Amino acid sequence: PLRQLGGQRSVVCKHWLRGLCKKGDGCDFLHEYDVTKVPECYFYSKFGECGNKDCPFLHIDATASTVGCPWYHRGFCRQGPLCQYKHTQRVPCANYLVGFCPEGPKCKFMQYV
């Protein structure tokens, strides 16, 4: 999803950021540091922290800046991985599935309505 679209390099090359890109001018990604086009740090997005103090990637706080996709929560999002909203898998509530959840809307598990 981060490859160039329509001949325009829209994302900074993650290998170039580390000095490891071997494609040179043939690379489909941008070889120029542009803060608005730097990819998100995998470790920060996955684990909430990054051990590299000089990390060149974006550290975006997932809780503050991402909104859950309402279509995904209903069961299906047509955009799939290209959706601008966050797709988080939620575990269904076992109590609700058998008939009644005493926690109601405060339940930490997903309840189908």
Cα gap 10→33, rounded to integer Å: 12
Residue 112 forms part of a structural domain: no
Instruction: Check whether residue 57 and residue 9 sit in a common domain.
Output: yes
Cα gap 102→104, rounded to integer Å: 6
Instruction: Check whether residue 101 and residue 74 sit in a common domain.
Output: yes
Residue 111 forms part of a structural domain: no
DSSP three-state, residue 23: coil
Instruction: Check whether residue 19 and residue 69 sit in a common domain.
Output: no
- Interval 40-85: pLDDT, tens: 888 887 777 888 888 888 887 655 445 677 777 777 888 877 777 7
Strand-pair partners of 24: none
Instruction: Check whether residue 24 and residue 50 sit in a common domain.
Output: yes
Instruction: Check whether residue 8 and residue 29 sit in a common domain.
Output: yes
Domain that holds residue 81: 65-106
Check residue 26 and give left, alpha or beta (phi > 0: left; psi -120 to 50: alpha): alpha
| Confidence (pTM) | 0.42
